[in-house]
Amino acid sequence: MSNTLFAHQPDASNIIISKTDNGQVILQITSSLTAFQQEVNFINGEGYYKTPEEFRNLVIKHFKNRFSLIINKNDTIKFKNPKVFLGHETKLVAEIIGLPEAIKNIQIKNTIFKDIYLSQSMVIFLLSQFPTSKYSLNVDNKYQINLSLKDGNWEKVIAKKTSSYLKYAGYFASLLVLLAMFFVFRKKNKLN
């Protein structure tokens, strides 16, 4: 029953990283066919593809542009042989290559479904070195999560907010220009 409900919810998706019996590490992204169609149509326009194969290729291109996995802050993970399996519950499956032996940091960014209102992805790791908790990617965390291993426990890394007065520089410059214009016009009016 839950698969049936999930297969028709375009705002819900799952990201599962697991290992097969033969030792391959696999990424699987699952959502409704409607979600993938909405994103492909949003990016490319309605009617851009004519065949299921063209649609699969557009989904893979969208995945490559909007999904990233970075390990240990500098190892951008590569994906081999991505394939799309169409159905009410549509899956994108790819082999993960280049996974380092020791893993201390994980950063996942998935903006594949960001154009769907209130979309969220549940991230599930089924590997021994990885966290056992589920994590949600949504608009609140900008569809990304950063995790760090500290004292044997995985913790979310919260980006520190830096207070910068430079963000107000545009407003200040605009105010100065307006004041200068005011004084120029005022001086012209006094002369007349």
pLDDT at 113 over 80: yes
pLDDT digits (tens, 9 = 90+) for 52-101: 999 999 999 999 999 999 999 888 899 999 999 999 999 999 999 988 88
pLDDT for position 188: 75
pLDDT at 10 over 90: no
Among 85, 138, 134, smallest CA distance to 112 is for: 138
As given in the structure block, the two tokens for residue 37 are 């169609």
If you average pLDDT over each of 30-34, 73-77, 168-172, 187-191, which comes out highest?
A: 30-34
pLDDT class of 3 with cuts at 50, 70, 90:
very low
pLDDT for position 161: 56
Q: Is 99 left (phi over 0), alpha (psi -120 to 50) or beta?
A: beta
| Sequence letter at residue 115 | D
Mind spelling out the 3-state secondary structure of 76-135?
Answer: ECEEEEEEEECCCEEEEEEEEECCCCCCCEEEEEECCCCCCCCCEEEEEEECCCCCCCCE
pLDDT for position 22: 92
Domain spans, the chain: 2-156, 162-192
